[in-house]
Every structure is written in C-alpha cells, then in structure tokens.
Structure 1
Amino acid sequence: MGDVVIDARDGRDGPEGGPAEEADAPGDGHGRGRKRGRGAEAKRKRPMWQELPFLVVIALGLAFLIKTFLLQAFLIPSGSMQNTLQVDDRVLVDKLTPWFGSEPDRGEVVVFRDPDNWLLGNPVPDPNAAQKFLSFIGLMPAAGEQHLIKRVIGVAGDTIECSGTGPLKVNGKPLSEPYVYAGNTPCSSDEPGQFKVTVPNDRIWVMGDHRQSSADSRYHQTDKNGGMVPLSDVVGRAVVVAWPITHWSTLPVPDTFKQPDLAPAH
C-alpha cells in the first residue's frame, strides 16, 4: 500500500475530488478578485553563484567532522609494513569505535602518534599551507604529522617473545605469520630482536610486517614506555587501503590471532 498524503489546508475538495483552490483575495472595488498564486508568494530562487559559497562551507564542515570523528586518511611514507602496505598507499583509519570504548586488539593495524621520539632522525616533510589546510579539514591524507603505523602483536597482560629467527610467540603460542615480508624471518637475530616482554595495562606492543626493516617496539625498549605504545596515543585502526585503486583491500585481523586460548591464563 502506498503512503497516504494528506492535504492539510482545510479539508475542502476541489472539482473531481482534487484539492480546493485557494480563496480569492479581497476585490479591487470593481468585483474583480485577485488569486493568490503560489508563484506570486514564493520567494525568487537564488542564483547558483549566491548559493555556492554556502554549499562549499557545508561540504568543508562535513569533511572536517568526518575526519575528526569517523574516518581519516593517512599516507604510508615507508616500507615498514610491506607487503601489507606499500609506500604511498592511502589508508582509511576508523576513529569512531574508540569513542565507544573500543581498544586495539591483537592483529589489528593501527595508526598512533609518536610515543617517544621514534621518528627522531626521520624528519617528516613540511607541507605547504594548502596541504596543511586540506589535511586539517580531511580532504587529503594527514600531512606533516608525527604518526606511525604498525601491527598490534600484544595487548595488556600478554607476554611476547622472540628467540632466534622465530617464530614469534604470544603467551607461549607461536604465531603463523603469512603477512611477514617475503624473505624476512618473524624474529630478527640482532640484540633488540631477541626479547621477552610483558605488556602492562593501557599499553600495546607493535611490530611492522617488514620485520627486518621496521623500527618498532623492539627497537625502543629503552624509552620511557619500554617500547610500548600508550593507548592514549592510538589514533585508530586502519581498515582499508583506499588508494591507489589497484591496491584496494581491507585489513582484517589474521587468523593466527584467532587461535584458541591465545589470551594469557589468569
């Protein structure tokens, strides 16, 4: 059944059940009434050139709100997450779920602010004024900001361990990591790459998929956070590679992080 449209004027019907015409206006003294036509009462539509600035402001405001509360685009500047992410890929980061108390989980790819000079010695190119503005309102990927992107390996309470070339273990269970860059080993044989750490509350342990080319938690164990990333520095979870189109893909949690009893025993 279709929707019923009700004429709300006064219930009077015109000829053949149609809507009644509007009443005549008072006459002009010669018995001639004047019809109050809609066209005479309606305001003249504004020209497009007058409406355009208003529409632009609305569009920019919506873009800013989306970037602030929903999704933000980030540019991948390095190969530390290859082959999951390539240099110059654009990823979309979910910023909404953290507002509802969601915290990063094992296996997710997250963007976070530099927790303690991780990018020291790797200066970020200074964007021009236009790039800063477009980045600020969300019409281009974040520019000139101190952000990193890595995979979450451990959350609060987890014990993470690397011995020899691997496998990487979480709470004593080895991970199967097909996302690790081809030719790399899950664990690096240098001193920082051999470790056993327990993640404290409100922290995460992160590592790049390009294991032998990622200055991640392993290489910052002497900083103020012991190589951990505070949850307060996490911007959100990268959910999709949006650009270039040929690289389009989602970023799901790998199956190895869904194995039974991966969480620490209590």
Structure 2
Amino acid sequence: MDTEAHHTERDRSSTPEERSRSARVSGGVSEAVPEDDALVDSAADSTDGAARGRLSWRSAGVVGLACTVFLLLLSHFVLQPFLIPSGSMEPTLQVGDRVLVNKLAYRFGDQPRRGDVLVFDGTDSFVREPAEENPVAGLLHGAAAALGLAEPDETHFVKRVVGVGGDRVVCCDKEGRIRVNGTQIEERYVFLGDAPSKAPFDIVVPQGTLWGMGDHRSRSSDSRDHLGSPGGGMVPVDKVIGRVDWIGWPFAHWTTIAGTDAFAGVPAPGSVPAGAGGHG
C-alpha cells in the first residue's frame, strides 16, 4: 500500500531572527520556547543576583560583627591595645605608639616586679573618681579605647615600677641617684639628660602597693606628684590592668619591651637597717 507523505510547512512569515529567539537547543534537539518564558528566566536571574548581593552584604556584616566581638573579648581578658597619649615614658614608649598589654601576666600568682612597665587604673591614687558621662558616649569610647583606636580613659596610666611593697625608695643620694633598699639604681632607661628626680623623697612602699615613675622624669606626673594625695601616690596592685610586653604599632617601632637589670642587686625589703639608704 502506498503511504502518502505528509509535509509540515514551515511558517514562511517568520524571519530567521524570530525563529532563532523561539528555539532553544538542548542536546542537539531544538525545542520551541515561548518568548514569555525567556523574559521570565531573565527576570528570575536578575532577582537571584540581587538576592545574592543582599546575602553577600549581610554575610560580610555578620563576619565583621563577629570579628569585633572576638577582639573585644580578647582585649578584655587577654591582650589589650593601649594608645600612648603622652611623652611621659620616652624614650621607651613614644607618643602615638600602640602597645599590647598582657592581662594574664599577673593572673596566676605572679606579682609586679621592679622594672616592669605597667598600665593601671589610677582612680583614688593618681586621680579622683571621674565625673559621670553620657553612658552611650562612654560605651563607644570604651570600645574604641579597648581596640587601641582612641586615647585611654583619663584614669588609666602607664608607668615603670620602681618600688614594690616593703621597699624603701629614696632620692637622691650624693651622686643624684635613686636608692632602693640602700642600693643605688643605674637607670639607663631614663630619658637622656633627665635627672632621676628633681623632687626629693624618702618613702616606704606599703604592702600591696607599688611606687611608679615615668621614664621621662621631667614630663611625667607620677607617684612623686601624689605624695599628699589620699593614696600617697601608691598604686594598689589590684588596680593593675596588665604589663606592657610589646609595641604593636607603628610597625617601625615593633619590638618587645625588654626587661631591665637595674634592680638586680636590690636586697629584699626589710633587710636594710633602719636609717640606711638615706640622702647621704
């Protein structure tokens, strides 16, 4: 039996460009695709792109917040950046240096030693209780200071320990040097050209406190300036925030804060007879 062939006529009214838009090739097989579907796909792609963009910004914000919280926790418990606002510790620390304060240095039974450079809260020893400030402003400033981005609180100080509890600290002997428990101290860290102290003093450091002085003696307001204050210029050990162990910024100043052997020959407190180690 003869079979009649049926031919499908192509739509001759369609142009090649229109036919191309209305066909999609998949695995070599042409499939007819309505033009409206193509528009929907394009709109969906645009929507997905915008959603991905919002998700990307949101993810970046979450990561940024998590990093900030981590740094604040690290600063509060372990290692706090501290901006040096003055020249009272030159040449050891320069104005604008950001030092790293080790908050674990005295957490496990160790005590501050002579020669240590410390950051401490000077409330009731160097300064009176500060006036109340706007809570929000205080919180923001505290967070910025904790990250080393702002100057520290006005109650925070950085000084070098010259005397610990029980020490007798005297200035000055015939050679113009400080004596601790009768031993003359060779203070090579003091700013070049500065005298150990222009103000004479003869004190015994009470137990549980420290006698602190700046390395730039002529520019430092320290224990010497607060002898008549309620705390007598002594810093309670429990007000110590931590030990300055490193300069972290600027990179040109990056270094560890080296210890000093200036106090190596100082005898233990109480081993010096009364009256010894005076002005001479």
**Fold in common (TM above 0.5):** yes
1:61 matched to 2:69? The reply is: yes
Matches within 5 A, 1:4-43: none
Aligned pair in 2 of structure 1 residues 244, 210: CA closer, same or farther (>3 Å)? same
User: Partner amino acid for 2:185?
Assistant: L
Over aligned residues, Cα RMSD in angstroms? 2.7
* Residue 178 (structure 2) aligns with: 168
- The 2-side partners of 1:62 and 1:183 are apart by 44
Identity of aligned residues (%): 40
CA contact (8 A) 2:80 2:102 kept: yes
Query: 1:117: how far off?
Result: 6.8
1:186 matched to 2:192? The reply is: no
Matches within 5 A, 1:1-150: 48-116=56-124, 118=126, 132=141, 134-135=143-144, 138=147, 140-141=149-150, 143-150=152-159
- The 2-side partners of 1:133 and 1:203 are apart by 26
CA contact (8 A) 2:80 2:146 kept: no
- The 1-side partners of 2:251 and 2:204 are apart by 39
Ranges in structure 1 where 5+ consecutive residues have no aligned partner? 1-45
- The 2-side partners of 1:228 and 1:181 are apart by 23
Q: Report the secondary structure of 1:93's partner residue.
A: strand
CA contact (8 A) 2:97 2:250 kept: yes
User: Partner amino acid for 1:88?
Assistant: G
- The 2-side partners of 1:238 and 1:180 are apart by 17
CA contact (8 A) 1:242 1:249 kept: yes
- The 2-side partners of 1:185 and 1:133 are apart by 36
* Residue 224 (structure 2) aligns with: 218
* Residue 177 (structure 1) aligns with: 187
TM-score, normalised relative to structure 1: 0.71
1:244 matched to 2:250? The reply is: yes
TM-score, normalised relative to structure 2: 0.67
- The 1-side partners of 2:79 and 2:96 are apart by 18
**Cα deviation digits, residues 158-209 of structure 1 (max 9, x gap):** 1100026621111000111111111111121xxxx21111111110000111
Ranges in structure 2 where 5+ consecutive residues have no aligned partner? 1-51, 272-280
* Residue 20 (structure 2) aligns with: none
* Residue 13 (structure 1) aligns with: none
Q: 2:162 aligns with which of 153, 163, 169?
A: 153
CA contact (8 A) 2:98 2:249 kept: yes
CA contact (8 A) 1:90 1:141 kept: no
* Residue 18 (structure 1) aligns with: none
State the number of aligned residues: 212
1:263 matched to 2:268? The reply is: yes
CA contact (8 A) 1:131 1:143 kept: no
